Structure 1
Amino acid sequence: TNTNYVKEKFNDLVVWYEQVTGMDEVRMMQNRVIEAQDRFVAAQEKRRDIGKELARIQSKLKEIHSELDTTSRGEERYLQLITEEHSILKDERRLVTEFALLEREERESFNMLSSCVKESHEKERAQAERTKYWSIIGSIVGTVIGVAGSSINNEFKMRELRKLVRETAVRNSASTDTSTILVQHEQELAQLVNNMKNIVDQQASNGTLDEVSNGKNGEMINKLEKTLNSLQHVKGIASLPSQVEEMKGMLQAAQRYEGQLVTIPQDMESMIVQHQREMRFVVVAVTIMGIIVPVIVTLLSRT
């Protein structure tokens, strides 16, 4: 199932981490220390038991010697005590030999335990140093990845900024052309309106309309209709006031791009300042890491 697969992958990851950091060797040495300690404790208990038994036999042998001193050789009790003394002496000799063997085994177990403990401490120190080095390497790699990611992010943002500048330049150029056409048509319209007003006033004062005036009026009306049609076909005339208000909301600061004067939206300045702060922070972090890492490596090598 998926749960077992995830557990297996997690266990494999833990095993790999322990192999890289040396934790598996430390754990193996700790197990060896525990085994050596168990052997030492077992040998010590056996030696104590044999020592107690030997002390009991020696105490009994002293009692027999005391009783032999008070018993005459002609009594039957004397022969019984001699036989018992002989049997106890054999047991004592056997226990002394066994006690000596157990003492030697105890010393060997203790030496083995000391050696395992020493080696375990060395493995732990090596594992700690290896972990420190891997931590430093991980910090450096993380810093490099962070710098690279920040650089890539800034590059994408700068591309968006350049694209926005181009679009703004094109829009400003189109707005300029539209404004020029609008001014021309407004001037023509004003001139036609003034001419028609003068003709109407003149006809009103004369009280008559002749054919020449009608022809002039028709010509002016045709020009007026053409001008109005041209004004209606100019793109953006209806939304010109809103575009003017939008252009007023631009930044006061302006930049030149390919010989044209273009404006940048208000939030672009804050974006540029933020990018500069991020790059400054990254440069400072890299500089600090470049100073601290050699010092740490030197201190670790001395220890």
Structure 2
Amino acid sequence: MLTRLPIRRFSINNKKSRLYRWLDIYEDFVGLKEVKQAQSAVNDAERSFIKTQTERRSYSNELLKLQNDLARIRIDMDKLSRSDDAYFELFKSEHDLVKKEKLTQLELKKQDEIERQLFSSLQLALRESQEKEKMRIERTKYWSIIGSVVGALAGMIGATLTNRHRIKEFHNITQESQKLYENLIDKQEISIDKLKQELTNLSSNDSYENILLLNQQSEERIQSKLIYHTNFINRDTGIVKRFSKDKGFGFITRKTDGTDFFVHFQSIVGTGFKTLEEGQEVEFKESQGVKGREARVEENYLVINNNVDYYSSKNRGFGFITRKSDGADFFVHSRSIHQRDLENFHEGIEVDFYESESNRGAEAKDVRIIKNTNTKDQIVNNEISDTNKQETGIIHRWNKERGFGFVRRIANGNDLFVHARSLKDGLRELEIGQEIQFRIQTTEKGDEAYDVYLIKNQ
């Protein structure tokens, strides 16, 4: 292990040297190396300038100190007589200090000149560094633009090649599917020919037992397919014994043996009906639930109530409307019927709609009942009301906090309840005195205005 350490260290150093070499090439390419050199020159000039400035300040302080000493000695000399020996000593000290002062002044001037030169050098190096930094930024920007353009072109070329490859694969899959379809057709034709040959052989042999056997096999095959695809054999018919709309469940009596089956609201979801009525004839399938045997109502069942035959198109959620002007038929789907009119939509009722074109042809949109909103029982008993026509009125009272109020009908002057949930066209509240257009519906609490539109603001 000890002999391999130098080799490993050499390999690591070699890798580091390669990495540093590539970094130097990159920095030289983008101009970062020149910027670093310029910044290094600025730092050197700044250090030299600071050093010279420090020396100049030291000479300045020394000169100030000498001048203070000279002033003190001259004051002492003025106090003494010229014949005194101390005066001569002070004169010699003054002479020495004057000589030092002259030398210090010369050095101070020299340091001032050096400081000016270094300051100019610092400014020049700083400007050069800034120019190189700007050049590096411009170069980086241009190379970024070039790289973006090249990357976009490469992406477009790659996407084109990928799409071409996918189209080619899709073409190959299509050809393979066509071949498989042709093979399937050939196999089907072969099986049909074999079946014809078997039938011919049976007919030629005139064997009554073989014919019965073939009929029995065909019947079993058809019966198994019916059980598998439609589950038709397990269906039963019955009469709704009772059904609670509030609780959402009831019972159905089977016709064959009179057995009662529990039925829940969830079992009729998706059939086109929201509830069941007593006496309705329904088609259902028996199933085993948690509480015992349950009935699941089929999606395409036929409901008969009070001798009114509801067409099966409603159970599927679509039908046709005949226009009065020319007798043209228009396809209508349950999603095109206004939500409040969906429950009372039936054959023979007069509606208002918009004509539109779809992939099915002429289709009715925004379907509304324009003459009545009566229930099915009211229609059977000839209890037809006129509560769905549009009326106008003026807001008499309005509570903004609770979101409801009263509108005074222009027709008879009676007050009618109106709630904020009935407002249309983005309205959230009303104000007293506003004129509105509305329709009338009957609820558990009485007559109420709905489908409210603002006419004008007084």
Superposition TM-score tier, normalisation by shorter sequence: 0.5 to 0.7
Aligned-residue offset at 1:5: 5.5
Provide the secondary structure at the position in 1 that maps to 2:67: helix
Aligned-residue offset at 1:103: 0.7
Aligned to 1:122: 131
Aligned-residue offset at 1:4: 5.1
Deviation by residue 1:58-103 (Cα, 9 ceiling, x = unmatched): 1111122222223332222222222222211111111100000001
Aligned to 1:108: 117
Aligned-residue offset at 1:130: 1.7
The TM-score normalised by the length of structure 1 is 0.61
Provide the secondary structure at the position in 2 that maps to 1:111: helix
Aligned to 2:72: 63
Aligned-residue offset at 1:200: 8.9
Match of 2:150 among 119, 141, 144: 141
Looking at secondary structure, tell me which structure has more helix per residue. Answer: 1
CA distance in 1 between counterparts of 2:208 and 2:91 reads 169
Between the two proteins, the alignment pairs up a number of residues equal to 201
Query: Does residue 194 of structure 1 match 2:203?
Result: yes
Which piece of structure 1 moves more, 53-62 or 76-85? 76-85
| One-letter amino acid of the structure 2 residue matched with residue 79 of structure 1 | F
| One-letter amino acid of the structure 2 residue matched with residue 148 of structure 1 | I
Match of 2:164 among 135, 150, 155: 155
CA distance in 1 between counterparts of 2:14 and 2:173 reads 49
Query: Does residue 177 of structure 1 match 2:177?
Result: no
CA distance in 2 between counterparts of 1:95 and 1:200 reads 144
Provide the secondary structure at the position in 2 that maps to 1:184: helix
CA distance in 2 between counterparts of 1:22 and 1:132 reads 12
| One-letter amino acid of the structure 2 residue matched with residue 145 of structure 1 | A
CA distance in 2 between counterparts of 1:164 and 1:191 reads 40
Change (3 A) 1:145 1:9: farther
Aligned-residue offset at 1:19: 2.0
> Mapping of 1:260-275 within 5 angstroms?
none
| One-letter amino acid of the structure 2 residue matched with residue 112 of structure 1 | S
RMSD: 2.3
Provide the secondary structure at the position in 1 that maps to 2:82: coil
CA distance in 1 between counterparts of 2:208 and 2:191 reads 26
In the alignment, structure 2 segments of 5+ residues that lack a partner are 1-7, 211-458
Which piece of structure 1 moves more, 55-64 or 6-15? 6-15
| One-letter amino acid of the structure 1 residue matched with residue 154 of structure 2 | I
Compare relative contact order (CA 8 Å, sep 6+) and give the higher one, 1 or 2: 1
CA distance in 1 between counterparts of 2:52 and 2:203 reads 127
Deviation by residue 1:20-71 (Cα, 9 ceiling, x = unmatched): 2222111111111111111111001100101111111111111222222233
CA distance in 2 between counterparts of 1:5 and 1:104 reads 50
| One-letter amino acid of the structure 2 residue matched with residue 108 of structure 1 | Q
Looking at secondary structure, tell me which structure has more strand per residue. Answer: 2
